[in-house]
Copies of this chain bind each other. A is one copy, B any other.
Amino acid sequence: VNTLEAAQTGELSFLAHPRYKPLLATTQASAVLVRRDAVHQEFLEAEHRPQLLFVEHPHAAFYQAVRYFFPESKAKAGFRHPTAVIADTAQIHASAWIGANTFIGEHCSIGAHTRLYANVVCYDHTEIGANCIIHAGTVLGSDGFGFLEKPDDSFEKIPQLGNVIIEDDVEIGANCTIDRAVLGSTRIGRGVKLDNLIHVAHNVVIGEHTAIAAQTGISGSTTIGARNRVAGQVGFVGHITTADDITVFAQSGVSKSLRHKGTYFGTPAKPHHIKVREEVATRQLAAAFQELRALRAEIERLKKNL
């Protein structure tokens, strides 16, 4: 299995996006998964072409084939790397997979078939559900960023007594940080997918099946709805809520609750079409200023003529 560009004779590939159609004629792949309507008749009649396998969803079909050729190793279920540090009071399901140099603190629990890669850190009382994947270097349950200012300008630490709960079927990328709650739980909902280097502050709740791209940060006590799609490097201020089915574009700064399903962009984040309109207007400013000067000149001329 391989991409159209890299495939050699004997390999299977796929065409999912029209952009890559020219590669159909040049690929060395022996067989290609493709939609019937994506191929012209004349190509079908070409002499030298890969075998075409017509399917409805070439991308999904390809990954089915991949899984067939590279079945996920079940052999390692229950693996504990000898360098993993696991507290006596932690409850690890027999089928969980625990990588090297991983640290699992007191009273943690880890569900069935969940996999922690190398150097993951779970502070005390972290709870991880079943079928989760936590990538290397991610820290779960570190103290939330909470301080009281004292009259002498120094800070007093607010004790962080809550924990982190990761529900089932969650995948978290590498070097993320998810802080424990002050009280109660920071909660990552079922089926959520987090990319790398994401920051989730104390008492945040992320709804089911939400996906968030790399380097996004969510401030304390914010609640993200279900099925949100958040692009990379987005920031959410604290104590706000997003509705279900929200999409946020990259580098946006969400400063208020987003109460309506839709697509948002910008700092501060606003409905995408409004942001686009403002961006277009900004580009026209030089011309507008010129028109403004032209109008001024016209008026002065008119006044003189009168």
Contacts and interface: CB of A to CB of B under 8 A. Distances in A.
B142 A117 contact: yes
A117 to B, nearest CB: 7
B214 A214 contact: no
Contacts of A66: 159, 161
Interface residues of A, number: 99
Contacts of A279: 268
A299 B306 CA distance: 13
A167 interface: no
Interface in A1-51: 1-3, 6
Given A103-B118, A285-B278, A251 B253 contact: yes
Given A136-B142, A145-B193, A286 B282 contact: no
B209 A154 contact: yes
Interface of A: 1-3, 6, 59-60, 63, 66-67, 70, 72, 81, 83, 85, 99-101, 103, 117-119, 121, 123, 133, 135-137, 139, 142-143, 145, 147-148, 153-159, 161, 169, 171, 173-177, 179, 183-184, 191, 193, 195-197, 199, 201, 208-209, 211, 213-215, 217, 219, 226-227, 232-233, 235, 237, 250-251, 253, 255, 267-268, 277-279, 281-286, 288-289, 291-292, 295-296, 298-299, 302-303, 305-306
A37 B157 CA distance: 27
Contact of A60 (B137, B148, B278): B148
Contact of A121 (B123, B137, B157, B196): B137
21 contacts: A1-B161, A59-B148, A63-B158, A63-B159, A70-B161, A123-B136, A135-B139, A137-B175, A139-B196, A142-B173, A143-B173, A145-B173, A153-B209, A173-B179, A213-B219, A215-B235, A217-B232, A237-B250, A281-B282, A281-B286, A298-B299
